[in-house]
Structure 1
Amino acid sequence: MISGPPDTPYDGGKYNLEIVIPDDYPFDPPKVKFLTKIWHPNISSVTGAICLDILKTQWAASMTVRSVLMSIQALLASPEPDDPLDAIVAGQYKQSYETYKKTAIHWNNIYAGSK
């Protein structure tokens, strides 16, 4: 579980993740996805899959699960709408940030237990 970063739409939320360590770890990255629904341009609002370079091509054997979790938390604080996994959320982020923010806060309140 990770906490939503302060001063973001995810502030106060508690997000459950599924982490699967492959047989070839640390040479292959862990498989990580959100189990808690989240409205974020780099995370699928349907499957919870995460678009994060260190979980794919930028993985290095020196990285740890802790560094992955810290990177995911940083991604929550600084979305990358130009490299989206969820095009609908990314479009909303770029075209109507206030609507994106309200939706993300609403999802945070409903699914991640923030009030």
Structure 2
Amino acid sequence: MSSLQRLNKDFEEMQKNPPPLCTAGPTDDDIYQWEAIIIGPPETPYQGGHFKLKITFPKDYPFKPPNVIFNTQIFHPNISKNGSTCLDILKHEWKVLYGISQVLLAVTGLLDDPNPDSCLNSEAGNLYKNNREAFNKKASEMTKKYAVIN
């Protein structure tokens, strides 16, 4: 299956059966550039937020993983201030059978269950480990400021 065929299949899957709390699709006329929106999971400091992500697929997708960047500011141990993520499945754990649904489920899972031992944002990681109440407060405040649609 070619890269283009796989992306079309992923797009059809997103139309028919999107993962919970997620939407995604190509931007403009470029099937290799997508925008996704993830709704912050309930009972997390991200609840109620609409987080925009930019997803760039390489020309040799699905043999190489997409690049996923948060366009919406977020306070999270595993998401850098420039929006990059540290997810194993987007690096060394990538498998050809993964599609955009699995990627979005993994990102949503990261919002629900951060990994403070693999930080891209040390301030968020330290707060998460040492003062969960302060972490939740700051993450919730940033969600309200940058991700809540009025």
TM-score range, shorter chain: over 0.9
The residue that corresponds to 1:79 in the other structure is: 114
Output aligned runs, 1:10-25, within 5 Å. Answer: 10-25=46-61
Which ranges of 4 or more aligned residues in structure 1 deviate by more than 4 Å?
A: none
RMSD: 1.1
Using the TM superposition, give the Cα deviation of residue 83 of structure 1 relative to its aligned residue in structure 2, in angstroms. 1.2
Normalised to the residue count of structure 2, the TM-score between the two structures is: 0.74
Normalised to the residue count of structure 1, the TM-score between the two structures is: 0.96
Give the match's secondary structure for 2:102: helix
**Equivalent residue for 1:57, pick from 92, 96, 99:** 92
Distance in structure 1 (CA, Å) of the matches to 2:131 and 2:97: 39
The residue that corresponds to 1:90 in the other structure is: 125
The residue that corresponds to 1:101 in the other structure is: 136
Distance in structure 1 (CA, Å) of the matches to 2:104 and 2:146: 19
Using the TM superposition, give the Cα deviation of residue 54 of structure 1 relative to its aligned residue in structure 2, in angstroms. 0.3
Give the match's secondary structure for 1:16: strand
1:2 aligns with 2:42: no
1:35 aligns with 2:62: no
User: CA deviation digits over 1:10-30, x for unaligned, max 9?
Assistant: 011000000001001000000
Distance in structure 1 (CA, Å) of the matches to 2:52 and 2:115: 21
Higher RCO (CA < 8 A, seq sep 6+): 1
User: As a proportion of its length, which structure holds more strand?
Assistant: 2
Q: Give the aligned length.
A: 114
User: CA deviation digits over 1:77-106, x for unaligned, max 9?
Assistant: 000001111111101111111110000000
Letter in 1 for 2:106: S
**Taking every aligned residue pair, what percent have the same amino acid on both sides?**
44
Distance in structure 1 (CA, Å) of the matches to 2:132 and 2:75: 12
Structure of greater Rg? 2
